[in-house]
Amino acid sequence: DAGVIQSPRHEVTEMGQEVTLRCKPISGHDYLFWYRQTMMRGLELLIYFNNNVPIDDSGMPEDRFSAKMPNASFSTLKIQPSEPRDSAVYFCASYSGGAKNIQYFGAGTRLSVL
């Protein structure tokens, strides 16, 4: 399996622009997570899905952030409009459920908002 695939790996944009991050989970995994990593706050869970349904979005910082999972093999995290404080590394992870509870992470998208 190719693992969790995220795109793009790097994104540089200007304040006010819309940004879309993409994630393809591991086939057969029922859970998908979006995290944000910054030096100041560490790793934060933004939202997670189970069987394509959002379960908990309490970590989404504000209404400018939205996430969708239209099918089992694709998810997006959108920021509109983007702000410099959104600059971070965004990770997607997937998990197959069950007692093992091992999440598999993608390589991340490094976002810079100028």
User: Which residues would be at the binding site for another protein (CB under 8 A)?
Assistant: 4, 31, 33, 42-43, 45, 48, 50, 56, 91, 93, 95, 97, 99, 101-108
Question: Of 2 and 99, which CB lies nearer to another protein in the complex structure?
Answer: 99
Which of 88, 74, 70 shows the shortest CA–CA distance to 19? 88
User: Nearest approach, Cβ of 101 to another protein (angstroms)?
Assistant: 5
User: Nearest approach, Cβ of 91 to another protein (angstroms)?
Assistant: 6
CB 102 within 8 A of CB 1: no
Q: Rounded to an integer, what distance in angstroms lies between the CA atom of residue 102 and that of residue 7? A: 22
User: Nearest approach, Cβ of 30 to another protein (angstroms)?
Assistant: 9
Question: Of 81 and 105, which CB lies nearer to another protein in the complex structure?
Answer: 105
Question: Of 16 and 97, which CB lies nearer to another protein in the complex structure?
Answer: 97
Q: Rounded to an integer, what distance in angstroms lies between the CA atom of residue 79 and that of residue 28? A: 27
For residue 32 the two structure tokens come to 């998908």
Q: Rounded to an integer, what distance in angstroms lies between the CA atom of residue 15 and that of residue 34? A: 22
